[in-house]
Structure 1
Amino acid sequence: MSTPAKTFYIETFGCQMNAHDSEKVIGTLEHEGYSRVEDEEAADLILYNTCSIRDKAEQKVFHRLNEYKRMQGEGKKFAVLGCVAQQEGNKIFDKAPFVSLVSGSASYRNLPEMLVRLEAGEKRITGLDDRQTEETFDTEFTARSNPHRGYITIIEGCDKFCSYCVVPYTRGKERSRSSESILTEAKRMAEAGYTDIQLLGQNVNSYHDPLGKKSFADVLAMVGELSGVRRVRFTTSHPRDFTPDIVQVIDAMPSICDHVHLPVQSGSSAVLKAMQREYTREWYLERIAWIKAAKRDISMTTDIIVGFPGETEEDFEETMSLLDVVGYDGVFAFQYSPRPNTPAVGMAETVSDEVKASRLQRLLEAQRERQRISYERHLNQIVEVMVEGYNHQRGQVTGRTSQNKTLNFTTSLPILPAIGSYLNVRVTKTFPNSLVGEAVSAA
């Protein structure tokens, strides 16, 4: 008599790290005999991989749990994973008693053992309080969702303790994988046909090889040299650990993408000090100067928080001035919102919600105009594009440049280029957030 199939449904909230964590969780579950389904109703086990970076993230998770608690009578089991799980801990069992498993990301390597306990009927299983672990979640069973672009987490956790950020408390301390294990995974991906590999970490350039063999720049070069790999990306960098050799590797190796995401958070040294970023405006701009001095045209993007406690109008104007000084090709900007268990929670909120909203709008409008001008430099350039999809309504192919810019283009080819293929495209029109062009040849 055959064993009945075990099914699971997973929903992921948040960043690329969470998305890749879910790929590894999915692969682990499938290796343990579970089959993935696309509908909660069809699942025996429902998992939510959560994020707590933004305000109201916890409410979103509990709202979703509340929507589906009616299914507990059907014998379904629920698991909360990720940052909200680590942050809320056992309180999740109190708020949602039908949840059976709560695990932070630092404990994912124990998932097979936790699943055995879950199947044995245990009602409250936790994988928490593992901040001091030296272990990383490496698995060869990753279920990658894209057959052409794949992620490799090279460092987990964070030791920076910025005053507004919950990540060090939810993902544990910084712990890097060995350069050998990274190379093994990258080789396996290249042999499977992946041409675009992205290295991930909360602070990816804080990487320290436990074997003492490779720097972060060395790891970039090592992956970029693999046969079949055409693009290597990395995110997210931290200014404190951004070094000149990173720029040198980008300059020397065409396979390393000419794009750096370097979050500044504020252009005011006073606000940066209150944020406990441990660098100044001048320190940050020195690193920008390294990037600008490169032989290649390296695209730069950043993260900015507006309305941090104590931010004056003068502080905000210093942030606004960075848009001109740096010339970002993209800015991800957010209003400050206090996160649980962070030092900034105790700071007096000196900026009203109305002022935060106004500053955010001013910043985004100013950046949009700067991007309009910045993107114009690509007009008439021929750039390599990786095909990502099709817009049949517009008769366009959608792709991405090595600078991580969206390029929508037409082609005279009788057959549409395959997703994952590379073409050379001439840019014929520019917008603040995208480019338009015509294919000229296969790359």
Structure 2
Amino acid sequence: MADANGKIAEKTFYLETFGCQMNVHDSEKVIGTLEHEGYRRVDLEEDAGLILYNTCSIRDKAEQKVFNRLNDYKKLYAKGKRFGVLGCVAQQEGERIFERAPYVSLVAGSASYRKLPEMLVQIERGESRITGLDDRQTDETFETEFTARSNPHRGYITIIEGCDKFCAYCVVPYTRGKERSRTSTSVLAEARRMADAGYTEIQLLGQNVNSYRDSEGKRSFAELLAAVGEVEGIRRVRFTTSHPRDFTRDIVEAIDAVPTLCDHVHLPIQSGSSRVLQLMQREYTRDQYEERIAWIKAARRPISMTTDIIVGFPGETPEDFEQTIDLLAVTGYDAVFAFKYSPRPNTPAITMADSIPDEEKSTRLQVLLDRQREIQRANYDKHIGQILEVMVEGRNEARGQITGRTSQNKTLNFTTTQPIYPAPGSYLPVRVTKSFPNSLVGEAVI
């Protein structure tokens, strides 16, 4: 709450997160920073003195979603609440947010989060229109020891922030700034702290995680990946998201050599047509992408592959789309995250003629999802009879099942004959007895 001068007297905060894993982990670090500065987190906007929204601008109408949320709660401003908009929409819209929502006190992009303590002091003094913007050319990353991790067993480490790829459809380089990597020394120190705290699974994050460049010059991305996997106490290491241009063979070699590295690679293709890839400014061809798929398929242990695809990009012909459908059969993905193209602010594609009707985009999307579902059903069927190790995540009381996840990042729901349910975070061997297109069913092997 704030006093008559607009100063926050009770240091409580509410934070809602929109978007990707990067945003989720950013929020964990923001929460930790706030708590270190003496704030207490609450579960409802009504109970908070400071209301924050950590925003994402990747999807269509993302900005409107944020402004709708602000509008829903603007009445609380009269009760002394203060509002802040963080993240990609904050960086994209900038001070225009103050014009559209004058009750907002703070607008800060992710590149300025390291200055949060200073900005909090300004809020506490009752200042308005506090900005953390235009810092996208910084070489500094947001590192803090006060991360408030939401899962006690699985945790994230951001190793690279920003993006230099400038794909034609993507707003990230304009909202998160240029690529800047942490030192491998700091990453490994955080991994060891997490292991000492009882974490057994680590996921390395970055807009393009494999574009990592160690400023100390000590380790390549593959070498850092292996080093994290060798930290005592760590049983699983994941990484996302990779860019095909920087995906090198030594990454696959590291997965083969270090058992703790999970056998799963998420490698966005976006389109199966080299012509469309060129329009998208992806800086690789279909042949180059298939070469990387061949490296993965040649690994000594089966590696699950997933991807992202955009349908209906400006200029995509029916023939281009058929090449994307053909690629599904070539690669045999275990999952595809597919979306209809929508123009985003400040991106090169916004000047392209978006001549494909939305109805046609929807048709293409459904065709792709139907085809992928067939492929996934066949892929998941292959696991029947296998014994897979799962990390326990929780229980589905309605079904009487325990929920877990395999090294390949597949959901495996299972039962056990033991009278005591296994604890979340524990690891168990489970025999697969049944499959669905998006999950597996099994029985614990005790």
- State yes or no: 1:342 paired with 2:342: no
Q: Could you say which residue in structure 2 is the equivalent of 1:306?
A: 311
Kept after mapping to 2: 8 A contact 1:311/1:350: no
Match of 1:352 in 2: 357
Name the SS of the counterpart of 1:333 in structure 2: strand
Deviations 1:324-383 (A, max 9, x none): 000000000000000000000000012110100000000001100110001111110000
Give 3-state SS (helix, strand or coil) of 2:139's partner. Answer: coil
Please show how residues 60-99 of structure 1 align to structure 2 within 5 Å: 60-99=65-104
How many positions carry a matched residue from both structures? Answer: 439
Matched ranges for 1:107-126 at <5 A: 107-126=112-131
Question: Which residue of structure 2 lines up, in the alignment, with residue 183 of structure 1?
Answer: 188
Q: Which amino acid aligns with 1:186?
A: A
The answer on 1:385 being equivalent to 2:390 is yes
Partner of 1:404: 409
Paired amino acid for 2:138? T
C-alpha contact (below 8 Å) 2:10/2:49 kept by paired residues: no
Distance 2:224 2:43 in 1: 36
CA distance in structure 2 between the aligned counterparts of 1:13 and 1:393, rounded to whole angstroms: 29
Choose the corresponding residue for 1:8, options 2, 10, 13: 13
Are 1:243 and 2:240 matched, yes or no?
Answer: no
Aligned to 1:257: 262
Give the Cα–Cα distance (whole angstroms) in 2 for the partners of residues 338 and 219 of structure 1: 36
Query: 2:427 aligns to what?
Result: 422
Partner residue in 2 for 1:289: 294
Query: 2:38 aligned with 1:40, yes or no?
Result: no
- Report the TM-score, using the length of structure 1 for normalisation: 0.99
Name the structure 1 match of 2:23.
18
Q: Do the aligned partners of 1:329 and 1:371 also contact (CA within 8 Å) in 2?
A: yes
Distance apart, 1:121 and its partner CA: 1.1
TM-score by length of 2: 0.98
Aligned equivalents of 2:219, 2:232: Cα separation in 1: 20
SS at match of 2:155: strand
SS of corresponding position for 1:198: strand
- 1:211-269 C-alpha deviation (Å, 9 max, x unpaired): 00000011111110011100000000000000000000101111000000000000000
**Residue of structure 2 in register with 1:134 after alignment:** 139
Residue in 1 aligned with 2:152? 147
Letter of the aligned partner of 1:65 in structure 2?
L
Whether the 8 Å CA contact 1:329–1:374 is kept in 2: the answer is yes
The percent of aligned pairs where both chains have the same amino acid is 76
Secondary structure of 2:445's match?
A: strand
* SS of equivalent residue, structure 2 residue 86: strand
Q: Report the Cα distance in structure 2 between the residues aligned to 1:185 and 1:212, rounded to whole angstroms.
A: 18
Task: Select the residue among 99, 106, 118 that pairs with 2:111.
Answer: 106
> Any stretches of 5+ residues in structure 1 without a counterpart?
none
Question: 2:342 matched to 1:332?
Answer: no
The alpha-carbon deviation at position 5 of structure 1 amounts to: 3.8
1:380-400 deviation line (CA, Å, top 9, x unaligned): 000000000101111110000
Structure 2, unpaired ranges of 5+: 1-7
Residue 14 of structure 1 aligns with an amino acid whose one-letter code is G
Does the CA-based 8 Å contact 1:338-1:345 persist in structure 2?
A: yes
CA shift, 1:163, in A, is: 0.4
**Whole-Å Cα distance in 1 between the matches of residues 246 and 141 of structure 2?**
21
Letter in 1 for 2:203: Q
Equivalent-residue separation in structure 2 for 1:290 and 1:104 (angstroms): 38
CA distance in 2, matches of 1:419, 1:261: 25
Structure 1 counterpart of 2:388, one-letter code: V
Alignment of 1:52 with 2:57, yes or no, is yes
Provide the secondary structure at the position in 2 that maps to 1:378. Answer: coil
2:157 aligned partner, one-letter code:
I
Partner of residue 162, structure 1 = 167
Q: Distance in 2 between matches of 1:192 and 1:246?
A: 28
